[in-house]
Structure 1
Amino acid sequence: MGCECSKFSDCFASEETKPVAHVPDNESIGKSEFGLPAFREFTIDQLRTATSGFAVENIVSEHGEKAPNVVYKGKLDNQRRIAVKRFNRSAWPDARQFLDEARAVGQLRNHRLANLLGCCYEGEERLLVAEFMPNETLAKHLFHWENQPMKWSMRLRVALHLAQALEYCTSKGRALYHDLNAYRIVFDDEGNPRLSCFGLMKNSRDGRSYSTNLAFTPPEYLRTGGITPESVIYSFGTLLLDLLSGKHIPPSHALDLIRDRNLQMLTDSCLEGQFSNDEGTELVRLASRCLQYEPRERPNTKSLVTALIPLQKDLEVPSHVLMGIPQDAAAMNLSPLGEASLRMDLTAIHEVLEMIGYKDDEGAATELSFQMWTNQMQDTLTSKKKGDVAFRQKEFRTAIECYTQFIDVGTMVSPTVFARRSLSYLISNMPEEALNDAVQAQVISPLWHVASYLQASALFTLGKENEAHIALREGSVLESKKNATT
């Protein structure tokens, strides 16, 4: 069930049979517009690796009993960040039906959508793979904001971008959207709002189209249990109310306030002075049209776009500025290690790795002490110790050779050894190998900020500036969380 939230509340909401063949990560094959790869099928092993074994730390949202599914963040071998929606085992028992539905949604490509990149239907597993949007949901920014309430001009931009997303989907024959709400709108790297592609598919073959509070569902859905394009317009109207009020107000209550001309009670007090009465009245009028009891009296998506374009303000201001989202490393307040990664100061990074030793291996030392009893393990540990000596003395080619002997035995995993070999590769002008090791370190230890920083340095070296800044930001966030808990 959904909940009626204010921005100060603490409520939580969010959001199986033939095997598939391995598909290479080469995105130059079948690329579509916007630089996105064509829809593809993933194996469960690929997605398990991308999400560090579906680690709890990578969960970004999960539904309750009515729609048991979980969304994870992950990263593919080619560094593309993804969101992976994993359904419960009883969902979509017909693999062909799931694949056909996913493929249809996967044909959509638009800059107003968080686009569907692929799916997995291996065994009993049913998963969807989409673009990852790093800057939270509309619900977070509207109801649970921390630093600043969303500006009026940004709220108007959200409404327009959402209307344009729905118009695009309608033009492509995908007019039905299930449970459109503030948790379905996510923000990309630039702070632009996008409509999640997940809502274009039901939670399961026989799943309900709405899992939110009944007070927010279209009246015809309550009568028939069916969803129509006009039902989506009704949900769009509830979102307009959310944007205007900063609260999740039941449509019946909002319509009472509108009839009584009590617009002050309907307007977010944080917006005082940001818009004129005429602007507010126009948005209220549009919302009330969307919330008409009779579906045929509601506007279509094209009319929504036409009505919202003239209301737009601050068109020259980027979304990330309106949202207060940092876009450069300076705004991240980087630590010395983060600064060193940004500058690609490999000497400074070497000093940090030497200083932390192996304390980030999370129990690996205990495992080592038990394995020292065998001669084979003793030889393996000797390789590691020789690698440590070479690393300390900055003999990085030797360090690579010794650490490789230790890693290839495979009797234990150590994120720190991968990090040390990654830096050794970087210093030896082998950035691809360095990037692979940094990614492996993060697979072993998903919350270890050093792994993200090493990825950033490797990506900078490879000339992948955008990806590098993303990894740098991830490292900064992880380091801040670690410092907060210690």
Structure 2
Amino acid sequence: MGARCSKFSFCWWNSHLKPSLLDSSDLENNGEKNGWPSFTEFSFEELKAATSGFCLDNIVSEHGEKAPNVVFKGQLRNGRWVAVKRFNKYAWPDSRQFMDETKTVGSLRSERLANLIGCCCEGEERLLVAEFMPNETLAKHLFHWESQPMKWAMRLRVAFYLAQALEYCSSKGRAIYHDLNAYRVLFDQDGNPRLSCFGLMKNSRDGKSYSTNLAFTPPEYMRTGRVTPESVVYSFGTMLLDLLSGKHIPPSHALDLIRGKNFLMLMDSCLEGHFSNDDGTQLVRLATRCLQYEARERPNAKSLVESLMPLQKETEVPSYVLLGIPHGTASPSQPLLLTPMGEACLRVDLTAFHEILEKTGYKDDEGIANELSFQVWTDQMQETLNSKKQGDSAFRAKDFATAIDCYSQFIEGGSMVSPTVYARRCLCYLMSEMAQEALGDALQAQVVSPEWPTAFYLQATALFSLGMENDAQEILKEATNLEAKRNKN
């Protein structure tokens, strides 16, 4: 499978691991030296000022939260950067329950957590304040990497640190974690992975404990709707699959590959030659144990730590080196400066999108290979062009059903290719609550015009409509960067 690493004998009393890596009690004790602030009750005005009035530019997706409960980055008066989660007004109707929960979670302090350091409960406002992690999410570094894939040693460290976080929380009576996924793992300024504290809050009217993707949901949650410590271990198993494969692979498919001993199909091809058969096999076995159908057959958090500890290699190499990022990024990157189309995308404001597409017309089709390729002008060609013209009339009149039919005739004609037609039909599908079809058209528009920001904005809007907020935020960033690049040229 790959080059074999040298093995080493492991023992508790002679480990070359740093003391802070050994057990969860050390995580808390060492943390007392880190200068963590005590839990604070903030005023609404303080947090409003910190986030520049909850400015759209300050919205971040680092904590894996779902709209409309948005996370903003902000800066307190003392200069500390924070992540502020603002709930919708129906999420926590019982203010006492909210305060009890926040104070309990806020009492936790660990270098494996993005710790909860405060809250706000005024009138109908419910806000959480956590440490801000400037180096984005595991999903970003694992699924959407730009310069280099995540190294094997770093993947093992992520798994180990995450297991330590779960063991620490379990030892403090908080074994339940809601919707554990790659967006909940954040990287601090040293490149160390941390688990977001937001998932430790007991479920309220904030939403369900798991995402709508049933393929990744623990089987017992499907039956009972309840989250148990064993459910959290199941989700940990899905994250081990993420780390092994470099993609979000459904457990059922992964287990089929494992049962068929088809490890190569499961492993990330970027890792070839960079890990030993033994390490890969051990991680696959642990993932399999976590994904057992019967909850009682899964390991507990302490067992996860014990299983992952011997796999830790390159322990003296700092995380920021393994992650390939600059060290000491004390402040977050500049916020996205959203254009009108970006703001329409973020708000899923389809009316604003309609106005922009109508105003822009077909100028973005310039340079696209629309020629007839020396075909003879025929009645059929004229009919195809008439379909487009009728579609445009229906689009202007907001007769979206008719526009879909007409644009479909144009596309099925196959003689001409227009990314704008795909974009317009995409919006018509969104207006008709057909988000899956809309996503398909947005992707087709991107195929025709790979650097066209509008295609990416529409993808993000369709993903928002499908409830895939984290993926939508990533695509929105790509769209914004493409538009900024285009405007410079």
TM-score, scaled relative to structure 2: 0.60
Cα distance, 1:33–1:94 mapped onto 2, change above 3 Å: farther
Cα distance in 1 for residues equivalent to 2:65 and 2:141: 26
Match of 1:324 in 2: 324
Secondary structure of the structure 2 residue equivalent to 1:89: coil
1:103 and 2:103 are equivalent in the alignment: yes
Describe how 1:256-275 pairs up with structure 2 within 5 A: 256-275=256-275
Secondary structure of the structure 2 residue equivalent to 1:195: strand
The answer on whether the counterparts of 1:67 and 1:211 sit within 8 Å (CA) in structure 2 is no
Gapped regions of structure 2 (runs ≥ 5): 1-30, 330-482
Identity %: 75
Cα distance, 1:44–1:174 mapped onto 2, change above 3 Å: same
Match of 1:279 in 2: 279
1:124 and 2:131 are equivalent in the alignment: no
Cα distance in 1 for residues equivalent to 2:292 and 2:327: 41
Residue 188 of structure 1 and its aligned partner are, at CA, apart by: 0.1
The answer on whether the counterparts of 2:62 and 2:136 sit within 8 Å (CA) in structure 1 is no
Cα distance, 1:76–1:66 mapped onto 2, change above 3 Å: closer
Match of 2:6 in 1: none
Cα distance in 2 for residues equivalent to 1:159 and 1:65: 21
**1:272-299 CA deviation, whole Å, 9 max, x = no partner?**
1111111111000000000000010000
1:144 and 2:144 are equivalent in the alignment: yes
Match of 1:175 in 2: 175
Residue 34 of structure 1 and its aligned partner are, at CA, apart by: 2.5
Secondary structure of the structure 2 residue equivalent to 1:126: strand
Q: Of the two structures, which has the highest relative contact order with CA contacts closer than 8 Å and spacing of 6 or more?
A: 2
Describe how 1:330-479 pairs up with structure 2 within 5 A: none
Residue 149 of structure 1 and its aligned partner are, at CA, apart by: 0.4
1:60 and 2:60 are equivalent in the alignment: yes
The answer on whether the counterparts of 1:289 and 1:298 sit within 8 Å (CA) in structure 2 is yes
Letter in 1 for 2:49: T
Secondary structure of the structure 2 residue equivalent to 1:150: coil
**1:239-297 CA deviation, whole Å, 9 max, x = no partner?**
00000000101101111111000000100000011111111110000000000000100
Secondary structure of the structure 2 residue equivalent to 1:146: coil
Secondary structure of the structure 1 residue equivalent to 2:227: coil
Match of 1:39 in 2: 39
Cα distance in 1 for residues equivalent to 2:286 and 2:319: 23
Match of 1:195 in 2: 195
Secondary structure of the structure 2 residue equivalent to 1:121: strand
Match of 2:73 in 1: 73
Match of 2:297 in 1: 297
Residue 204 of structure 1 and its aligned partner are, at CA, apart by: 2.9
Residue 313 of structure 1 and its aligned partner are, at CA, apart by: 1.0
The answer on whether the counterparts of 1:67 and 1:207 sit within 8 Å (CA) in structure 2 is no
Cα distance in 1 for residues equivalent to 2:315 and 2:210: 34
Secondary structure of the structure 2 residue equivalent to 1:53: coil
Match of 1:240 in 2: 240
Cα distance, 1:39–1:284 mapped onto 2, change above 3 Å: same
Cα distance, 1:270–1:64 mapped onto 2, change above 3 Å: closer
Cα distance in 2 for residues equivalent to 1:66 and 1:186: 16
Cα distance in 2 for residues equivalent to 1:76 and 1:259: 52
Cα distance, 1:323–1:212 mapped onto 2, change above 3 Å: farther
Residue 61 of structure 1 and its aligned partner are, at CA, apart by: 2.0
Secondary structure of the structure 2 residue equivalent to 1:327: coil
Residue 32 of structure 1 and its aligned partner are, at CA, apart by: 5.5
1:223 and 2:223 are equivalent in the alignment: yes
Match of 1:253 in 2: 253
Cα distance in 2 for residues equivalent to 1:63 and 1:157: 20
Match of 2:421 in 1: none
Match of 1:185 in 2: 185
Residue 68 of structure 1 and its aligned partner are, at CA, apart by: 2.4
Letter in 1 for 2:172: K
The answer on whether the counterparts of 1:85 and 1:129 sit within 8 Å (CA) in structure 2 is yes
The answer on whether the counterparts of 1:33 and 1:109 sit within 8 Å (CA) in structure 2 is no
The answer on whether the counterparts of 2:101 and 2:202 sit within 8 Å (CA) in structure 1 is no
Letter in 1 for 2:322: L
Residue 77 of structure 1 and its aligned partner are, at CA, apart by: 0.3
Cα distance in 1 for residues equivalent to 2:207 and 2:114: 22
Residue 484 of structure 1 and its aligned partner are, at CA, apart by: 8.3
Match of 1:114 in 2: 114
Secondary structure of the structure 2 residue equivalent to 1:108: coil
Match of 1:92 in 2: 92
The answer on whether the counterparts of 1:155 and 1:243 sit within 8 Å (CA) in structure 2 is yes
The answer on whether the counterparts of 1:63 and 1:70 sit within 8 Å (CA) in structure 2 is no
Secondary structure of the structure 1 residue equivalent to 2:125: coil
Residue 127 of structure 1 and its aligned partner are, at CA, apart by: 0.6
Secondary structure of the structure 1 residue equivalent to 2:178: coil
Letter in 2 for 1:136: E
Secondary structure of the structure 1 residue equivalent to 2:325: coil
Cα distance in 1 for residues equivalent to 2:164 and 2:320: 19
The answer on whether the counterparts of 1:87 and 1:203 sit within 8 Å (CA) in structure 2 is no
Match of 1:213 in 2: 213
The answer on whether the counterparts of 2:190 and 2:328 sit within 8 Å (CA) in structure 1 is no
Cα distance in 2 for residues equivalent to 1:312 and 1:41: 39
**How many residues matched?**
309
The answer on whether the counterparts of 2:178 and 2:199 sit within 8 Å (CA) in structure 1 is yes
Cα distance, 1:212–1:322 mapped onto 2, change above 3 Å: farther
Cα distance, 1:131–1:105 mapped onto 2, change above 3 Å: same
Decide which moves more: 258-267 or 320-329: 320-329
Decide which moves more: 211-220 or 258-267: 211-220
Letter in 1 for 2:301: T
Letter in 2 for 1:144: H
Match of 1:161 in 2: 161
Secondary structure of the structure 2 residue equivalent to 1:82: strand
